[in-house]
Amino acid sequence: MRVLGVDPGLTRCGLGVVDGLPGRRVRMVGVGVARSDPASDVDQRLLTIEAQIEEWIEEHAPDTVAIERVFAQHNLRTVMGTAQVAGIAMVAAARRRIPVALHTPSEVKAAVTGSGRADKAQVQTMVARLLGLDELPRPADAADALALAICHLWRPAGALGAPQRPPSSGLTSAQARWAAAEQAARRRG
């Protein structure tokens, strides 16, 4: 399974693609940060981030998109931008019928470090170790995106945040097979 992790942010949005391998092993496919100019109007900043997320989805053809669940912070402006970018990522995935999962920051930290209270440095170190990277993924937004993808891959089926495909998804079995074939072709492509 291939997961695109999205650590939403209006100035820096972390993006990380990880493949799940047999035996709970993981392999990094790509990592980066979508950026927008803080001097631009919010609508233009959202458009810029959205275009970059779309490019990542097209290039990497994920099976699932895992997004950090927005939580209340003291800075309302930061929460709003984060929530708006999370919504854009959800729409980009939904447009392609790619399942979306939301994970809390503490859930992600616990999955990769064993502690839901780990700091950014601990998350970066463990992500690098789990993925066999020579260097820590930077900035922290990129490491967080990879951690989101790893967390999702390691969630048991049916757990909170795990991909759910309700029977009312509207796809027939033939349509589902076609969508899967289309994703596989984009990966090869």
Active-site choice (50, 68, 107, 144): 68
Our answer to whether residue 135 is catalytic in this structure is no
| Ramachandran bin of 23, using left for φ above 0, alpha for ψ from -120 to 50, beta for the remaining angles | left
Distances (CA, A) of 144 to 121, 181, 185: 10, 30, 28
Tell me, yes or no, if 43 is annotated catalytic.
no
Establish whether 141 is an annotated binding residue: yes
**Is 7 flagged in the annotation as binding?**
yes
Q: What is the pairing mode between strands 64-68 and 25-35? A: unpaired
CA distance 109 to 112: 5
Which one of 50, 107, 141, 144 is the catalytic residue?
A: 141
Contacts with 125 (C-beta within 8 Å, 6 or more apart), sequence order:
136
* Residues 101, 110: Cα–Cα separation, whole Å: 17
The Cα 33–Cα 173 span in angstroms is: 36
Q: Name the catalytic one among 7, 50, 107, 144.
A: 7
Distance CA 140, CA 124 (A): 7
What residues are designated binding site? 7, 68, 141
What residues are designated binding site for Mg(2+)? 7, 68, 141
Residues labelled as active-site residues: 7, 68, 141
